[in-house]
């Protein structure tokens, strides 16, 4: 199995709120620091990926992070324009206007039309080899299958035409496990774990795209061993000596909070591990106690991922 | 109406509460707690409409495998969880596929048209993607439930969407879609056998890209759909009106972390610009306030500095191993220092959001995950007692 870091196209997905953008940014940064030319692409245009690199507004044209990846934001209209110019040799100047709304309309009806413009652009970049690796901050759990299955859906629905002829090479790229992989991000909580199990199952049963790994974000280290936990419990119950002063309330609350969270999280990780195929890498990404966003945090995520992945 | 000064007033005075916010912040749980609060403090019939609850929560609410039906949580079950109901608590889940089928049947001019649409191969795919269908169908179902006149309060857990606001625009977009000139362009040639001049550039390009057969399939499908135009548009307008009705209020839910807060902030601004009423901002799963207290950090430092001395006293009093006690205290101190950083960051974020909504409620993370009626009841107590 090709290691996650050797693939050229990585789709990073997961339930909303689990930090998939953080992980995508960390992966992109990690690959870039290993000397690769990396493109990081945000699919849902919320601007979170640009924020992870402190870039401000980023559009369809990639912006370089010094020492890091190139960052772009997917725009299906721009992708359509590029496609028309490069493939059909129809130059489109300015906004596409009516054509874009026409496309919106067809896209509303035809499954996969909008998605294929996203996946098509990503596959195109893989084929052009201007980047060594492309990390996609992909759509959330509910929508990512739409992207991964778009070429096949179009292939099944559209029998002739230019789009049809374009899907074959895309499928070759997407279905090649040495090239493409999906990274599913979860947190050690009930819903994200349940969705991750469902998604991995759905990807494996409805597509031929390879799942490269699962990252469990925000995992907590074990605070106490079993015996120390008992020791802590008896101290916390009695609070002898100075410990009964109210200024220590926060200290005991923090330790209890950390222990309870850790225990619940560990149960969810166990559930996840048991449900996933044995050969699928499961990466535990620690909870970051320092800054929560920006380049500093992205670097720290990259460092932690490097430790887990190599 | 003036904005209520507490969540209790909010559940007393409004008929519809829409819980919205970014994914993963506990929207469903908060929606269930608001409904619980209403059912335990007001005499009305309360319904919570959830979209995709966690398994344990669905079990707790008795929602497993019930499809689109409404189920009542009976008083015995509530009493067993420790609740003293004043009203009735009902729950429903949104079954997307069934809701769409119902919608088609309702709006189709006749049974054969309905059958033609329901059996169209494109229909399956389309109901999953069609003009933000999840968002639209949730609002449509809300309208339907509200129109029955059976409910004093409906609390809605809004669908998780890529853009959390899509559901607000869904009714308008649905109307726009059905009134669009494009739809007419596409349908015109099929009807009259004539290609409209206006449609020519579009059809030519679309033809090159998609192929004729596919376009014909789509056209045939929309031709059937267009017979439902009037019903759809009228309904979409009614749904829009319901959202801005003075009996409707929005509850924005987030956790006090940077990304969810940024999304919540965006959400609040958009609600305001659309002139919808913001009832409350709920900051869920906040760390205990003791963690951010200045005393905690100095206490943790003092503990770290003299772990051995303090451990000696504790070990003697409790008959423990001194080494183990010292190790435990050092670990607890280190952990407290880490968490107090997070807690202070949260406190700063909460302060920033203090005036973002007329009512900002902080809900501390309870021990463990909320997944049963007891947990929901505890949460409703916290939300209900917040000023």
pLDDT tens-digit series, residues B71-125: 999 999 999 999 999 999 999 988 777 887 888 888 888 898 888 888 776 676 6
Q: What is the pLDDT of residue B150?
A: 96
Residue B182: its chain A contacts at CB < 8 A?
Answer: 101-102, 105
Q: Which of B208, B317, B367 sits opposite A238 (nearest CB)?
A: B317
Q: What is the pLDDT of residue A164?
A: 73
Residue B291: its chain A contacts at CB < 8 A?
Answer: 250, 253-254, 257
Instruction: Summarize pLDDT for B222-260 with one digit per residue, the tens.
Output: 777 767 777 777 777 888 888 899 999 999 999 998 878
DSSP state of A101: H
Q: pLDDT category, B368, cuts 50, 70, 90?
A: low
Query: Do residue B369 and residue A189 have CB atoms under 8 angstroms apart?
Result: yes
Instruction: Report whether pLDDT(A293) > 50.
Output: yes
* Mean pLDDT, chain B, whole residue set: 82
Q: Which of B125, B210, B295 sits opposite A111 (nearest CB)?
A: B125
Query: Do residue B300 and residue A250 have CB atoms under 8 angstroms apart?
Result: yes
- Residue that wins the pLDDT comparison between B46 and B128: B46
Residue B339: its chain A contacts at CB < 8 A?
Answer: 254, 257-258, 289
Interface of B with A in 224-253 (CB under 8 A): none
Q: Which residue of A has its CA nearest to B337?
A: A251
H helix intervals, chain A: 20-33, 48-52, 76-83, 98-109, 113-128, 141-157, 162-174, 190-206, 226-238, 249-275, 295-309
The answer to whether the Cα torsion of B314, B316, B319, B325 is positive or negative is: positive
Query: Do residue B218 and residue A231 have CB atoms under 8 angstroms apart?
Result: no
Question: What value does the mean pLDDT take over residues B22-38?
Answer: 91
Bridge partners, residue B362, by sequence? B283
Residue B314: its chain A contacts at CB < 8 A?
Answer: 235, 238, 240-241, 243
Q: Which of A109, A231, A248 sits opposite B328 (nearest CB)?
A: A231
Q: Which of B317, B327, B365 sits opposite A241 (nearest CB)?
A: B317
Query: Do residue B317 and residue A264 have CB atoms under 8 angstroms apart?
Result: no
Smallest CA–CA distance, residue A1 to chain B, in Å, is: 32
Interface A-B, measured as beta-carbon pairs within 8 A, has a size of: 220
- Residue that wins the pLDDT comparison between B121 and A209: A209
Instruction: Summarize pLDDT for A145-174 with one digit per residue, the tens.
Output: 888 988 887 777 666 666 677 788 999 999
Write the ipTM.
Answer: 0.78
Interface test with A, best of B179, B332, B333, B346 (most A CBs within 10 A): B332
CA B41, CA B26: separation in Å to the nearest integer? 22
User: In percent, how much of chain B has pLDDT > 70?
Assistant: 76
Query: Do residue B214 and residue A260 have CB atoms under 8 angstroms apart?
Result: no
Enter the tokens of residue B146.
């509200």
Write the CA distances from A3 to A13, A63, A210, B181, B215, integer angstroms. Answer: 18, 27, 12, 51, 42
Q: Are A186 and A140 in contact (CB under 8 A)?
A: no
Contacting residues for A154 by C-beta, under 8 A, at least 6 apart: A110, A112, A113, A116, A163, A164, A167
Interface test with A, best of B20, B21, B24 (most A CBs within 10 A): B24
Smallest CA–CA distance, residue B90 to chain A, in Å, is: 23
CA A138, CA A119: separation in Å to the nearest integer? 10
Q: Are B251 and B26 in contact (CB under 8 A)?
A: no
Residue A143: Cβ-neighbour burial (10 angstroms; 0-12, 13-18, 19+) = middle
- Residue that wins the pLDDT comparison between B274 and B203: B274
* Closest listed residue to residue B219, CA positions, set B236, B202, B237: B202
Contacting residues for B102 by C-beta, under 8 A, at least 6 apart: B68
Q: Does B182 touch chain A (CB under 8 A)?
A: yes
For tokens 């509530």, the residue is B78
Query: Do residue B325 and residue A231 have CB atoms under 8 angstroms apart?
Result: yes
- Phi (first) and psi of residue B6, to 5 degrees: -150, 160
Return the axis-axis angle of helices A98-109 and B212-226, rounded to nearest 10°.
Answer: 80
Q: What is the pLDDT of residue B132?
A: 47
Instruction: Report whether pLDDT(B50) > 60.
Output: yes
Interface of B with A in 74-113 (CB under 8 A): none
Q: Which residue of A has its CA nearest to B134?
A: A142
Contacting residues for B257 by C-beta, under 8 A, at least 6 apart: A292, B346, B349
Residue B368: its chain A contacts at CB < 8 A?
Answer: 260, 264
Q: Which of A274-283, B46-55, B141-150 has the lowest mean pLDDT?
A: B46-55
CA B192, CA B203: separation in Å to the nearest integer? 15
Query: Do residue B331 and residue A192 have CB atoms under 8 angstroms apart?
Result: no
Query: Do residue A289 and residue B338 have CB atoms under 8 angstroms apart?
Result: yes
Query: Do residue A105 and residue B182 have CB atoms under 8 angstroms apart?
Result: yes
* Closest listed residue to residue B281, CA positions, set B294, B266, B291, B293: B266
């Amino acid at each position: 199995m090709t290691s996650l870091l050797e693939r050229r196209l990585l789709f990073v997905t997961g339930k909303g709120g689990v930090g998939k953008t953080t992980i995508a940014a960390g992966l992109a940064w990690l690959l870039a620091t290993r000397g690769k030319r990396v493109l990081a692409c945000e699919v849902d245009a919320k601007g979170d990926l640009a924020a992870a690199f402190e870039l401000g507004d980023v559009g369809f044209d990639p912006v370089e992070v010094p020492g890091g990846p190139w960052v772009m934001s997917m725009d299906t209209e721009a992708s359509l324009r590029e496609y028309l110019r490069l493939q059909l040799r129809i130059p489109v100047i300015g906004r596409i206007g009516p054509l874009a709304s026409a496309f919106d309309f067809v896209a509303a009806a035809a499954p996969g039309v909008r998605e294929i413009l996203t996946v098509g652009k990503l596959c195109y970049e893989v084929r052009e080899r201007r980047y060594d690796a492309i990390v996609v901050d992909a759509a959330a759990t509910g929508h990512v299958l739409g992207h991964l299955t778009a070429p096949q859906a179009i292939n099944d629905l559209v029998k002739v035409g230019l789009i049809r002829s374009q899907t074959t090479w895309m499928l070759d790229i997407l279905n090649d496990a040495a090239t493409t992989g999906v990274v599913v991000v979860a947190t050690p909580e009930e819903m994200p774990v349940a969705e991750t199990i469902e998604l991995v199952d759905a990807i494996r049963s409805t597509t031929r795209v390879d799942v490269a790994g699962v990252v469990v974000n925000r995992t907590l280290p074990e605070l106490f061993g079993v015996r120390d936990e008992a020791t802590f419990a008896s101290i916390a119950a009695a609070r002898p000596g100075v410990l009964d002063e109210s200024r220590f309330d926060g200290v005991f609350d923090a330790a209890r909070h950390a222990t309870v969270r850790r225990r619940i999280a560990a149960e969810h990780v166990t559930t996840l591990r048991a449900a996933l195929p044995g050969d699928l890498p499961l990466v535990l990404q620690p909870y970051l106690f320092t800054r929560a966003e920006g380049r500093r945090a992205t670097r720290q995520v990259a460092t932690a991922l490097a430790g887990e992945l190599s | 109406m003036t904005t209520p000064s507490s969540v209790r007033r909010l559940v007393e005075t409004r008929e519809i509460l829409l819980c919205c916010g970014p994914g993963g912040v506990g929207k469903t749980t908060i929606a269930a707690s608001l409904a619980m609060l209403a059912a335990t403090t007001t005499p009305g019939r309360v319904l919570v409409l959830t979209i995709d609850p966690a398994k344990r929560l669905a079990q707790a609410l008795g929602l497993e495998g019930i499809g689109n039906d409404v189920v009542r949580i009976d008083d015995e079950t509530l009493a067993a969880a420790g609740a003293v109901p004043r009203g009735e608590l009902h729950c429903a889940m949104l079954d997307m596929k069934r809701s769409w089928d119902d919608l088609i049947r309702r709006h189709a001019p006749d049974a054969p048209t309905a059958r033609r649409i329901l059996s169209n191969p494109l229909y399956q795919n389309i109901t999953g993607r069609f003009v933000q269908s999840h968002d639209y169908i949730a609002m449509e179902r809300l309208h339907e439930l509200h129109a029955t006149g059976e409910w004093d309060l409906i609390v809605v857990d809004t669908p998780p969407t890529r853009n959390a606001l899509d559901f607000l625009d869904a009714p308008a977009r649905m109307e726009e879609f059905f009134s669009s000139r494009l739809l007419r362009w596409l349908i015109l040639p099929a009807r009259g056998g004539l290609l409209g001049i206006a449609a020519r550039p579009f059809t030519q390009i679309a033809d090159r890209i998609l192929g004729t057969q596919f376009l014909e399939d789509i056209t045939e499908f929309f031709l059937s759909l267009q017979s439902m135009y009037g019903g759809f548009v009228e309904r979409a307008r009614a749904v829009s009106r319901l959202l801005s009705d003075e009996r409707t209020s929005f509850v924005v839910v987030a956790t006090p972390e940077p990304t969810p807060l940024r999304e919540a902030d965006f959400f609040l601004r958009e609600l305001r610009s659309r002139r919808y009423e913001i009832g409350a901002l709920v900051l869920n799963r906040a760390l205990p306030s003791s963690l951010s207290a200045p005393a905690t950090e100095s206490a943790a430092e003092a503990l770290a500095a003299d772990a051995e001395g303090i451990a000696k006293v504790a070990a003697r009093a409790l008959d423990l191993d001194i080494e183990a006690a010292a190790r435990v205290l050092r670990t607890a101190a280190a952990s407290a220092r880490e968490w107090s950083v997070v807690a202070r960051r949260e406190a700063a974020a909460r302060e920033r959001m203090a005036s973002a909504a007329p009512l900002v409620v902080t809900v501390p993370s309870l021990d463990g995950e909320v997944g049963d009626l007891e947990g929901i009841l505890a949460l409703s107590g916290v939300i209900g007692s917040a000023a």
